Amino acid sequence: MKRWLVGLLLIAVMLVGTVGCELSVSSKEKGSTTGFKALGKDAKAKIKVLFYNEQAFAMLYGNTFNAKYPNIEVEVIPMTSLMLPDKDKNKELVKLLEETSPDVMFLSQEQYEKLSGDGKLLELETIIKKDKFDLDSMLPASTQLLKTKGNGMLYGLASGFSAKALYYNKDIFDQNGVPYPTDRMSWDEVLQLAKRFPTSGEGPNRIYGFHQGSFQSGYYELLNNMGHTQGLSMVDSESMAVKINSEPWKKIVQSAVDAYRAGVIAEPSNPAANMNAVDSIFTQNHFISGKAAMTVDSFNMIALMSEAQKTVKDLKPVNWALVTEPIDRSNPDTATSFALSQIMAINSKTTDPAAAWELVKYLNGDEYAKIISKSTFELLTRTAYVKDKDGRSLEAFYKLRPGDKSYNDFNTLTAIPFSFYTAFDTIVNQEFKSVLDQKKTIEDALKEIEDKGQQEMTKAKFEQESGKDSKQ
């Protein structure tokens, strides 16, 4: 499902825009900017861009940019080597930069932080001020995060970001006389609110207080989300150690077990049982099908609900609204799901910073944001746009600031072999189920998860180092 959403995002965003005057920037040293030199209107230039592949770039950005500025040729450097599961993505990135010397790069937060720290990115704040680029109208949280990751300096811009919110079905709340959820609720408060709904009823009359995960990974997904809110991770990406056998995790598991046993959350379903049902992707999501009062999800949930209306016959539209995602009481203004979707940065060694800056400026400009706001599948950092969807406020996505560590960045745990995750997901779900069925204590289950998980980590690392992980 998540991979499908990523693909949908890349395909759906259509870009049209314009840019202002072209400027050339000379560098005195890596990452610093000392002056400007205008690029003539008809001057020819060529820049290289690091992106997923040439086709995706042309559809999303290149065709429009080249039509507007045919004098600036864009060559795309595919990021294929960074996507292979048997490769160390950080090492591959450095190698790719050395071999191809791209002018503009589309980076993850982890990549941005590493490259800016290594002096491989051009500092942009000086250019922005000289060029009078409107930075103030961009989401302050996004630029602050970029500065934090850049050790106080701004080395990139991002036109979009991802975040989660708590969706709730107003009709279900009204029908049961339960007060609506509010901003900045903790997970315990959300689950306690969910327990106020009746657990009786069969079939279409069965209502759940909370929906989490349509398929078998639902147990793991809920535990992971609850842990992240408290700054916890089941796996330490630096030591590559599984660390879940602790008191904080014990409390989280106990809270989740209580919710499932109380009938607040539906048991995860088996995806294999409905592979031939086209609409099962929607009907097994109890929130979309109108059988759950609340769920925590991303901006893409809105698109899924819309698509469900077109796909599932006689499906009643969800009368939804939003509040902020669950928070940690010790950090009530922090959103652990906040992540910048694509960070656009310029190589500090670029031979044509003028054309490179024009592309970055174009993709982060006001006119571009205004145009794509009508069809975007991501939240925009230009706060003047996408404030509502279908007449409903999206403010909840913008209220919280990003934390010091984001758990929504695809490359945050790139050092960990891909093959580990599938096995670990299964282990967590099996052990959680054994606790639900009262076959094990929480303490025994956590110890088993840690021991078995570490064994799978060792196995995955060995396969990665021997080149066998590529078959995953």
CATH number of 164-337: 3.40.190.10
C-alpha to C-alpha distance for 51 and 64, rounded to whole angstroms = 16
CB 66 within 8 A of CB 54: no
Q: Could you tell me which of 416, 415, 399 has the C-alpha nearest to residue 456? A: 416
CA–CA dist 143, 344 (Å, integer): 12
Residue 405 structure tokens: 């560590």
For residue 131 the two structure tokens come to 């060029």
How many residues in the chain? 472
103-125 pLDDT, tens digit per residue, is: 999 999 989 999 999 999 999 99
**Does 162 have pLDDT greater than 70?**
yes
Q: Note whether 426 and 469 are within 8 A (CB).
A: no
- Strand duo 72-78 + 45-51: pairing: parallel
pLDDT tens per residue across span 294-313: 999 999 999 999 999 999 98
| Cβ atoms of residues 432 and 213 within 8 Å | no
Phi–psi pair at 304, nearest 5 degrees:
-65, -40
Question: Which residues make Cβ contacts (< 8 Å) with residue 217, sequence separation at least 6?
Answer: 268, 425, 429
Q: Which of 103, 72, 92, 445 is nearest to 256 (CA)?
A: 445
Q: Look at residues 181, 182, 185, 176 and name the one whose alpha carbon lies nearest to residue 207.
A: 176
Between these two residues, 80 and 147, which has the higher pLDDT value?
147
Distances (CA, A) of 248 to 245, 254, 403: 9, 10, 19
pLDDT in tens, 319-337: 999 999 999 999 999 999 9
**Is 113:150 a contact under the CB 8 Å cutoff?**
yes
Domain residue ranges in the chain: 2-162+338-385, 164-337
Cα angle, residue 117 at apex, residues 114 and 118 outer, rounded to 5°: 85
Q: What is the pLDDT of residues 62-93, one digit of tens each?
A: 887 887 788 889 999 999 877 776 667 778 89
Collapse the DSSP code of 160 into the 3-class scheme (helix H, G, I; strand E, B; otherwise coil) and give the result.
Answer: strand
Determine phi and psi for 395, rounding to 5 degrees: -55, -30
Q: Are strands 334-335 and 401-402 parallel, antiparallel or unpaired?
A: parallel
225: enclosing H helix or E strand: helix 218-229
- Please report the pLDDT score of residue 214 as a whole number: 60
Contacts of 153 (CB under 8 A, 6+ apart): 31, 116, 123, 125, 147
CB atoms within 10 A of CB 163: 25
Tokens for 321? Answer: 């609204």
* Residue 68 tokens, joined: 């507007």
* pLDDT at residue 218 in the model: 80
CA distance 225 to 256: 11
Hey, do 2-162+338-385 and 164-337 end up sharing a CATH topology, with the first three levels equal?
Answer: yes
Confidence of residue 6 (pLDDT cuts 50, 70, 90): very low
What residues pair up with 339 in beta bridges, in sequence order?
162
The gap from C-alpha 463 to its chain's centroid, in whole angstroms, comes to 28
Coil, strand, or helix at residue 260?
helix
SS3 349: coil
Do residues 279 and 310 touch, judged by C-beta distance below 8 A? no
**For a pLDDT cut of 70, what percent of the chain falls above it?**
84
DSSP H or E segment with residue 44 = none
Which are the contacts of 301, defined by CB distance < 8 A and separation ≥ 6?
Answer: 167, 287, 288, 295
Q: Is the pTM of this model over 0.85?
A: yes
Contact 348, 27 (CB under 8 A): yes
pLDDT in tens, 47-62: 999 999 999 999 888 8
With bands split at pLDDT 50, 70 and 90, how would you rate the model's confidence at 5?
very low
421-422-428 Cα angle (round to 5): 80
Distance, CA of 353 to CA of 130 (rounded, Å): 14
The tens digit of pLDDT for each residue in 228-254 reads: 999 999 998 778 899 999 999 999 999
Q: CATH assignment of 2-162+338-385? A: 3.40.190.10
> E-assigned strands of 347-466?
379-380, 388-389, 392-393, 401-402
Mean pLDDT confidence for 364-369: 89
Q: What is the pLDDT of residues 169-208, one digit of tens each?
A: 999 999 999 999 999 999 999 999 999 999 988 877 899 9
Highest mean pLDDT among 56-60, 126-130, 434-438: 434-438
> Can you tell me the distance from the alpha carbon of 265 to that of 210, in angstroms, rounded to the nearest whole number?
5
At 456, is the secondary structure helix, strand, or coil? helix
